[in-house]
Amino acid sequence: MSDIGIGSKIIGIPRNKITSTRYIYANGKMNELPSSISSMLFRQDPFSRSIISIIAKELFVEKNVTDEDESIYSFFCRRFNKEIADYLATSLCRGIFGGDANVLSMKSCFRQVFEFEKKYGSVTRGMFFSKSGNAESLSDLALKAKREKWTSWTVQNGMQALPKYWADSLRLNGVQILLDTKCEKLSFSNEKVFCTTNSCVLEADAVISSLPVCSLKSLLTEANSTLSALLGSINFATMAVVNLEYVNEKVPFNGFGFLVPSNQPLNILGMTFDSVVLPHPTQHNSAILTVMSGGAWFEEIFGNPNSCDENMIIESSVKNVRDILGFRSMPRRVLCKIQKNCIPQYYIGHDERVEQIKNFLKASDLPLLITGTSWGGVGINDAIINSKNDTLRWLASNHMY
């Protein structure tokens, strides 16, 4: 953000009572997760023991001496206990990946925690003794975020403004951006790349793709069937996101939102209390919520993403708001968006699949760099830093940086 000159447009959301208060909805009620040492000393539902006693026991669990990958569920069961895996691990996987903790890779999804066990013999010891990154290498904006303890951030005029600000910065640096231009095919010949769009054919020396690999796969020709098959080994989840605005309703919980563990019968993954986290001075009598559903369970609940009934998704979201938050009125405004194949699923063995793709690209000497979130992290922060680092490494290897 600093590099492209939009640091002043970033709005940080510091850690406070509201942003640090998270819930999981389990066993028919809202359960606040411990957010301080003192709150960990006592037992809180849905756990049968205090979190501090579970953490203390983890210190003495024998470490896994192999470097083999395992599921997130298995890791948390082994290091902590089944309750932590059932209620906490599955909720985290749904909130971050929209995915199933039983098949997601611990090594690829939570690499730092995975390495804590390898290096320190315990996750708890790793959290206490691991060193954070070098603050001297951080930008002023990153230092500000660290100093003010941001838990998240947004952009002036909303996150939809981020690509616009980015595009404006690129244009100032002489970059040509083709709008309303869809890439329909990528082919390689004589050390060149030919990008067939809906309006022309572009010839280039190289292509940097930040597309999800499932989309990139569909652009490749039969001549690149091996690469297509490798890219197709990475799965993606489809999310249904419903934004709701209510008038004269108040969220009865003073926190960020809640997640739903996968062992619960609800058909949503979670909900954020947007108007609680970022209250608007002119909307004091409004409740604005975001309901997330689908993910790894999308087709099971709603059917084919290409033909499912959006009204069914909206009705499900409204019903859950009514049942969980007690709202009695209907929403004033509703926005439903089906985000198809939006989150890559880092299944067990993901690292090996990624290595195969990278090795193939290197061996075939294709003028193609793949970046984005298909590996290395699925968040916006991950996408930004991965793309920057991948591009700089590629430029350096081609003696251009």
For residue 48, being part of any structural domain is answered with yes
- Considering its fold, how many domains does the chain have in total? 1
Burial of 79 (0-12, 13-18, 19+ CB in 10 A): buried
**What pLDDT does 137 receive?**
67
Residue 94 domain flag: yes
Other beta carbons within 10 Å of 255: 21
Structural domain includes residue 354: no
- 26 occurs within a structural domain: yes
User: Residue 50 is part of which domain span?
Assistant: 22-129
For residue 78, give the CATH number of its domain: 1.10.3110.10
pLDDT tens per residue across span 146-195: 888 888 888 887 778 888 888 888 899 899 999 899 999 999 998 899 99
Rounded to whole angstroms, the Cα distance separating 299 from 307 reads 11
Residues of the chain with pLDDT under 50: none
pLDDT, position 66: 86
- The reply to whether 141 falls in a domain is no
Of 148, 133, 139, nearest in space to 12 by CA: 148
**CB contact at 8 A, 90 and 263:** yes
pLDDT of residue 12: 82
Q: 298-324 pLDDT, tens per residue?
A: 999 999 999 999 999 999 999 999 999
Q: Work out the widest C-alpha separation in the chain, in whole angstroms.
A: 67
Residue 81 lies in a domain: yes
Answer yes or no: are the C-beta atoms of 201 and 191 closer than 8 Å: no
Predicted TM-score (pTM) of this structure: 0.91
pLDDT at 91: 98
- The pLDDT, as a whole number, for residue 283 is 65
Other residues' Cβ atoms within 10 Å of the Cβ of residue 236? 16
Q: Quick check: is 329 in a domain?
A: no
Question: What pLDDT does residue 398 have?
Answer: 79
Q: For residue 380, is it within any domain?
A: no
What's residue 327's pLDDT? 97
pLDDT at 155: 82
Locate 134 and state its tokens. 């070098």
User: What length does the chain have?
Assistant: 401
